[in-house]
Every structure is written in C-alpha cells, then in structure tokens.
Amino acid sequence: MKSVRKRIYKMIASAMLLVILAQNTAFAEETARNTTINSASVSLETPSAILMEASTGTVLFEKNADEMRSPASITKIMTLLLTFEAIEKGRIRLEDEVLTSAYAKSMGGSQVFLDEGEVQTVDTLIKCITVASGNDASVALAEYVAGSEQEFVNMMNEKAAQLGMANTQFMDCCGLCSDSGHHTTARDVAIMSRELITRYPQVYNYTKIWMEDITHVTSRGSEPFTLASTNKLLKQYQWTTGLKTGSTNVAKYCFSATARKNDIDLIAVIMGAPDPKVRFAEAQILLEYGFAVTRLYVDENKQVLGDIPVTGGKAERLAVEPKGAFRYLDVTGADFNKIEKQYQYADTVAAPVERGAEVGYISYSLEGRELGRMPIIASEPVEKAFFVDYLRRMLIKYLV
C-alpha cells in the first residue's frame, strides 16, 4: 500500500512540474513574438537595418531586416565566433603559431599582406581580422581551425543554422565572394553579433583597437606593419565597442556596430549603405536612439532559495537556485521599484534529477503585467534510490 501511495505521489509531482514548465515555455514564446518596438520616428537612407539590445535580444528598430543581401566583410563576425569557440573548447590557443599558406596569401581585397610561409600567432591573426579586416588573415585562421577554408565554411553554415539564422548562407570565411549564394540579412547579422559579444566579450579587447603594429617575419627579414581600424566610429562615438565593417561593389557599405552605455549593450546593423559616411552616421543614429529610449532592469538573483523534497532519490532533498540574472529592457519609463517577484516551483520532484534541470521559475511582474520569467534549476544531481539505499537510510535512522 505504501508503495502504491509513493507511485501516485510521484505521478502528481511530475504532472505539476510539467504544467509549470509548459506555462514557462508558452510565456517565452509569447514574449519573443512581441519584442519589436514601434520606432517610426527613425528614418534611414540605408535600405536594410536593425537595432538590437544584446542581453535580452529585444529588437528596437528594423527596416527590411529580413531582406537577403551580400554581407562583405561582416562575414568575418562568424569567423571570429568560431575562432573563439575553438579557443574555449581547447582546440586552439591564442599563443599557437599559424603558418600562412599560398592560398591564404592570394586573397585580394583588404589584407595585411601575409607572405607564404609566414608565421603569426592566433592572437595576432584575430587582431588582423578585427582591426584591419584582413582577408588573408581570415583564411589562414580558418585553415588552422578546420584544416581548409571549405571545411570552415561548412562549420559556419552549421553554426548559422544552430543560431536560427534562417536567411544566411556562407560561401567563404571573409566576405570576398560576390556570388548571390553568399548572403545574409540584417537580422541574422545581429543574431551572430549578439552571440559573439555575449559569449565572448573578450572580443572587445581586439575591436576597440584603433592602431597597433604587428611584425612580418619572412625570408626577407623582419618588418613592422601598422594595423589601422576600419571602424571609424571608434573615434566618432565615445560609446563604441566594435564590431565589424564590410564593403564590396555588390554589398555596398555594411556595418555591425556595437556600443555600451549605462550597462546597456546595443547592436546596430547597417547593410547596403550608399557610402561610408552614411554607414557610420546612420549606425550612430540607431545607437543614440536606442540609448535614449531604453533602460535595463537587472536582478542578479544571488539569493539562496533553499531546497525541496525529492521522492525516490538517494538524497531526500534537492537544493535549487535561479538559473541566472533576469534582464528586462524597458522603453516606457516604468518605475522599476514596483516590479514584483513570485516564486513558482513543484512541492516535490521525483528522482533521478539532473543538475540544471528546471523545477520551476521566478515570475517578474509590473502593475499586473508579467515581464518575464527566470527558471529555477536543480543545483546538484540526485540519483535514483535502490533497495540498498533505503536500507542504509533506515540503518542510519535507527542506529545513529
């Protein structure tokens, strides 16, 4: 009888948890459908653009943001993303030395004039890409990460698919390709820019460089070479943090601009601007608009939540915690002091429980309107208990 009651108890607890998680998923989907804010006051000459807040992904402005266009050198944002990912996974290191191939040397367009057989570190090649937009450096790094540029391009397209970049297809790692098959959109550029700066903020150590010397060491000897940033906004707009420019005859003038002010990170993507001045000026217009209308509410969620009962587990209680900081981007001038938090989680969970498993959520609301949710997760795993575990527990209870 006791065993039957225990099974029923588990079924009820599991059902409660499924209801909580289903509600959480439904709210997240509804929030995603309502992230674009009316900004009719912004007028741009640029044919395609978008403005996004990085930490929440909120879109503040868009103009033909899903129009497929040639990206030119902002292609290199994906090259940088995969490079930092390879570093994070331990496949390559910043101090690794990369040998320049004849193919990498042959790249035209913007370049840092690497010679065949020249050796540069991964760290230096990242500078060559972020500062001077070196096509030769991009190919050299792609070959080092993946063995060949084509294999690296395959990785780029796989990553684009993972990120939901539905209107993107890459054919090279640097953006020289003028084929219509090499295309993306302003929205997709914002998505990959967001992934890069939020996962690897160390990229700012490179994108904020205005000028820096590297050294070419070849059979002809040692020769200094000055990298000069293609991002003129670094000198024109004090909040600029990056990110990448691009231009070809087909793409016209493109730019994914990032800036940080009052702890808010914005991404302004410009595609197809008629000239460089419009590219930088309209990126700045978007950034200034974004900083003018937004405020960011952040709850770091450092509080201790305690634990909840576990049925059928080696441990009888499960420690839980918020998954992370909650962020809400406001454009209405709301009073953040009126934001309320409510905790919703199952009274009990059934083992086994994996670390990080969602067991509930924290709901944030303002004057009756729900702003968002932060999952509550298991702080540790709990394995399923077997007969020997129950026997050990009884012995401890009655003998200690």
Establish whether 76 is a catalytic residue: yes
> Which of 41, 31, 42 is CA-nearest to residue 270?
42
Residue with tokens 């009756």: 368
Let me know: does 316 contact 310? Beta carbons within 8 Å. Answer: yes
Q: DSSP code of 368?
A: T
Q: Which residues pair with 141 in a beta bridge?
A: none
Could you tell me the CA-to-CA distances from 295 to 133, 223, 299, 380 in Å, in that order? 33, 48, 13, 35
Active-site choice (70, 101, 110, 133):
133
Question: Which helix (H) or strand (E) segment is 373 a member of?
Answer: strand 369-378
Provide the CA 278 distance to its chain's centre, in angstroms. Answer: 27
113: left (phi over 0), alpha (psi -120 to 50) or beta: left
Active-site choice (48, 63, 70, 76):
76
Active-site choice (48, 63, 70, 73):
73
The number of residues making up the chain comes to: 400
Let me know: does 49 contact 269? Beta carbons within 8 Å. Answer: yes
Residue with tokens 């090279």: 172
What is the gyration radius of the CA atoms in the chain, in angstroms? 26
Q: Which tokens hold the place of 148?
A: 């060949």
How far from each other are the two terminal CA atoms of the chain, in whole angstroms? Answer: 28
Establish whether 43 is a catalytic residue: no
Q: Which tokens hold the place of 6?
A: 């225990």
Establish whether 41 is a catalytic residue: no
Could you tell me the CA-to-CA distances from 136 to 29, 108, 165, 263, 321 in Å, in that order? 42, 8, 26, 35, 47
Catalytic positions: 73, 76, 133
